[in-house]
Amino acid sequence: MKLYLRTKDFVVSNEEFDLLYDEHNDMLVTQPQPQNISAYYESESYISHTDANTSLFEKLYQKVKQYNLRKKLSLINRFNRGSQNLLDIGAGTGDFLKVAQTAGWKGAGVEPNEKAKAKALEKGMYLNQTLKDLKEEKYTCITLWHVLEHLPDLDKQITNIVNLLAENGTIFIAVPNFKSYDAKHYGSYWAGFDVPRHLWHFSKKAISNLFEAHKFQIVKTIPMPFDAFYVALLSEKYKTGRQNMIRAFFIGLWSNMRAWFTNEYSSHIYILKKAN
């Protein structure tokens, strides 16, 4: 694999990391991959583990998150009829699982971060530490909302995930897209790289190849246009030291407009089922 880009951890350590290009899968691989990855999540800036709602940026994030929770619920309802048994991997502070359970889904969640699990428990949501903690049960719906890029030993993790899926079940995966306009615009400052927490950086071809090896296929790809604005805000901060909200808005808008023609949005949701 050849060097694609060198970037750094802007959140915790300021350490530099290489992104190596896997040509066969059209994806990037973070190197080196830390042994003690949990240390890189220890920051109040990691908002998905804290439920922070103080600054203007945090308030905007929480508003958009609530909107996205409703959209995600609508999405899994559309693709799953009858039995409703959900597994949310990387459940964070438990918000999506709680919304789904309120709507009638039976469900379980997995979250390794202790602070996030504690926040979830305050909401009445018990989350398992690992997939190994789950009972021997099959799930009609498995969701990974911006989680797959965090998982070490990727092929083994995918094997574990597909083995938990019920016959005719559906997998929903949301990940950043390093081929988007905003990724190319910000380069090493692009917040979607988020090294070393993001170990892998996917394209459409990458997701297709990785799951095709497990006899799964993408049945639908859905853009996440809000991500372009959120990522641009963070990227502006990493690049200039300020969030530059107006500039970030126009970069996010232009990224989405370009994506109307290229179909390369800042993030995508991939919906996968077992191939016939």
Whether 215 contacts 275, CB under 8 Å: yes
Q: What SS3 state is found at 2? A: strand
Pairwise pLDDT comparison (195 vs 244), residue with the higher score? 195
Structure confidence by residue, pLDDT tens digits, 106-163: 989 999 999 899 999 999 999 999 998 887 789 999 999 999 999 999 999 999 999 9
Q: What is the mean pLDDT of residues 53-80?
A: 78
Write down all domains in the chain, each with its CATH number in brackets. Answer: 2-274 (3.40.50.150)
Residue 89: pLDDT band (50, 70, 90) is very high
The pLDDT, as a whole number, for residue 83 is 67
Query: Mean of the per-residue pLDDT values for the chain?
Result: 92
pLDDT band at 73 (very low <50, low <70, confident <90, very high): very high
Given this model, what pLDDT does residue 28 score?
98
Q: Report the pLDDT value the prediction gives residue 64, as an integer from 0 to 100.
A: 72
Q: At residue 49, does pLDDT exceed 60?
A: no
Listed range (58-62, 99-103, 191-195, 263-267) with the worst mean pLDDT: 58-62
Q: pLDDT tens digits for 186-230? A: 999 999 999 999 999 999 999 999 999 999 999 999 999 999 999
Burial class (CB in 10 A: 0-12, 13-18, 19+), 178: buried
- Kindly report whether the peptide bond that precedes residue 152 is cis, defined as omega within 30 degrees of 0: no
Which residues, 6 or more positions from 91, have their beta carbon under 8 angstroms from its beta carbon? 97, 109, 110, 111, 116, 120, 125, 127
